[in-house]
Amino acid sequence: MNSEIPALNELRVLLQRPIIRLLALSSMLSAIVVISLDSRTAVRDPDNWWHLRVGQWIVENHAFPHVGIFSRTAATRPWRAYSWGYEILLSRSYDWFGILGMAVFGLLLTLLVAAVFYFSLYRLSRSFWTAWFLCAVGAYGFLFKLLPRPVFFSMALFSVVVTLILEAHRENNIRLLYPLPLVFVLWANLHIQFIYGLFALGLFFAVTCLERLPAIRELAADRFVTNSLPLSKLLSMVVICAGACCVGPYGYHLFEVILGYSRSTLPYTFVQELQAPEFRMPPDYVLLLLVGAGYFALGSQKKVDAFKVVLLVVASVFSFRSSRDVWFAGICAALFIADWAFQDGSEKGESSPSPRPRLWEFAASGVVLAILTILIAPRMGLTTRALDHTISANFPVDAVNYLRRNPAPGPLYNDFNWGGFLIWYMPDFPVSIDARADLYGDEANGVALRSLGGDYLADRNLNQAGFVIANKAMPLPWKLASDPRFHIVYQDQLAAVFVRNH
């Protein structure tokens, strides 16, 4: 007869004390704040600047754009601000609190993802420490791969969708899926990757249908995890959620945007975040271990859960194809491990769910986190002066300021990566290109990419330009220096400005 060591029992009791859980949760969230402040602020993301300007345009015009606003070369091409909800929130943060508000918004968005991820893990595992550990590992593995942007809402809402699906499956209760339409209404107006959640729900329905086929039913009963959720209600939920994604200013046209993205290939060849993880940094290996643990958890079950296996395989393909999507596999793996931990403990009779966290515990964690942030944020660069310095070090602020003092006749030709910033900081001149790949298409993006590499003679947009703002890290400015059609009027360590000779 096994007897537990008294010290182990005492440790278990100690770990369940509210004050210990409070310290652990506050420490994890504080670490996320420190990492975010240390190297990840919203002002460093070149995409956030055009998001900011779009949000301001929507508020100013009380309308939603349907063409390529702010672009000189694609002004009449169809374009939809599919992240308009995020853009309005970002613009309000900036207009009310300046650059500091923009940075704080990014920090709060990062904390939102971590909090929702933790609560999802807790609901599935019913264990504070399991949820705490998986959240810490997952956050380190994927949360800091990107700067705060609309995809952070996708991370949070995808966690919610998959958690509700797993709970409905585990408890055989279709009612647990009833909040999903509201989730998708919100999601579809915040970010285009709502399609990932819709895919997960559709996959769950498809697997359930296959399990009911007479030819598979007998095999499934012995080897596969099955559920008895009513197919008619499950189908209705899929249809309603798909319809919910169309509730917004762009309706079903959001699916056209998704189709356009699926056909685009060029951005995957030169946009760094769209390329496969290089496995040069520790978070890449932590994520790999997390995904591997997810497969181990699925393989350890007595019966195969086809829904989880297929979803994790698809998520792995997307995540290891593009660094931007590493969260997809990371969230799936962590949630599946949490669900497996609960079921495995229940089967062995060892399940001892943690006491539900009380409201005061969360409030206390928030107070601790707020105090810590207020104390350390100014020392870690969360000040207007430090943020201005960060912006100037990453974007052509001084070059634009020179042009404001010494105006040059347009039109403007600009670097691809600076287009979003110039949309905001130099609004009088529509940009030649920016990071809205869905607006310009592969052909225009390819021409701009070749021009940055120095092969610009066939670039009609550059040949029509009155002045050029070029990144000195690229070959283009060195080529233009010897082009008799242009002369240089300004340069610093970051940028060079060329004006056409007349």
- Pairwise CA distance, residues 79 & 65, whole Å: 7
Residue 238 lies in a domain: yes
Residue 15 lies in a domain: no
Helix, strand, coil percent values for the chain (each to nearest 5): 65, 5, 30
143 and 173 belong to one structural domain: yes
Q: What pLDDT is attached to residue 257?
A: 93
- Pairwise CA distance, residues 76 & 430, whole Å: 13
* CA nearest neighbour of 406 among 462, 489, 493: 489
First-last CA distance in the chain: 95
339 and 406 belong to one structural domain: no
- Do 50 and 419 meet the contact criterion of CB atoms below 8 Å apart? yes
Q: What confidence tens digit (pLDDT) does each residue in 358-381 have?
A: 666 777 778 888 888 888 888 888
- Measured N-to-C along each axis, helices 18-39 and 359-376 cross at an angle, to the nearest 10 degrees, of 30
Which residue, of 347, 376, 405, is where some domain finishes?
376
Residue 16 lies in a domain: no
Residue 12 lies in a domain: no
Q: What pLDDT is attached to residue 272?
A: 77
134 and 190 belong to one structural domain: yes
Residue 386 lies in a domain: no
491 and 363 belong to one structural domain: no
pTM (2 decimals)?
A: 0.92
Quote the number of domains for the chain.
Answer: 2
262, with CB counted inside 10 A (0-12, 13-18, 19+), is exposed
370 and 404 belong to one structural domain: no
Residue 220 lies in a domain: yes
Which residue, of 376, 409, 429, is where some domain finishes?
376
- Do 359 and 22 meet the contact criterion of CB atoms below 8 Å apart? no
- Pairwise CA distance, residues 129 & 141, whole Å: 18
448 and 368 belong to one structural domain: no
Would you say the C-alpha torsion 197, 199, 202, 207 has a positive or negative sign?
negative
Cβ neighbours of 55 (radius 10 Å)? 24
3 state SS of 435? coil
338 and 222 belong to one structural domain: yes
- Do 279 and 288 meet the contact criterion of CB atoms below 8 Å apart? yes
253 and 323 belong to one structural domain: yes
- Pairwise CA distance, residues 181 & 200, whole Å: 14
Distances from the Cα of 305 to the Cαs of 6, 166, 424, 500, in angstroms? Answer: 38, 11, 49, 65
264 and 349 belong to one structural domain: yes
Q: Residues, the chain, total?
A: 502
| DSSP state letters, 396-407 | -HHHHHHHHHS-
Structural domain of 347 = 25-376
3 state SS of 431? strand
- Pairwise CA distance, residues 459 & 270, whole Å: 18
Residue 7 lies in a domain: no
In order along its 502 residues, the chain shows pLDDT tens digits of 445 566 555 656 556 677 888 888 888 988 999 988 877 678 899 999 999 999 999 999 999 999 999 999 999 999 999 999 999 999 999 999 999 999 999 999 999 999 999 999 999 999 999 999 999 999 999 999 888 999 999 999 999 999 999 999 999 999 999 999 999 999 999 999 999 999 999 999 999 988 877 656 666 666 777 788 999 999 999 999 999 999 999 999 999 999 988 888 877 777 778 888 888 889 999 999 999 999 999 998 888 889 999 999 999 999 999 889 999 999 999 999 999 998 865 555 555 555 566 666 777 778 888 888 888 888 888 899 999 999 999 999 999 999 999 999 989 999 999 999 999 999 999 999 999 988 999 899 999 999 999 999 999 999 999 999 999 999 999 999 999 999 999 999 999 999 999 7
Residue 205 lies in a domain: yes
Q: What pLDDT is attached to residue 492?
A: 94
- Do 245 and 188 meet the contact criterion of CB atoms below 8 Å apart? yes
405 and 461 belong to one structural domain: yes
- Do 391 and 107 meet the contact criterion of CB atoms below 8 Å apart? no
- Pairwise CA distance, residues 43 & 384, whole Å: 11
Q: In what order do the strands lie in the sheet with 412-414?
A: 412-414, 467-471, 495-500, 486-491
* CA nearest neighbour of 342 among 129, 156, 192, 88: 129
184 and 257 belong to one structural domain: yes
How is residue 168 written in tokens?
């409905």
Radius of gyration of the chain (CA): 25
Residues 6+ apart with CB under 8 A from 318: 325, 328, 329
Q: What pLDDT is attached to residue 177?
A: 97
For residue 41, the 8-state DSSP code is: -
**Upper half-sphere CA count for residue 217 (Cβ side, 13 Å):** 5
347 and 481 belong to one structural domain: no
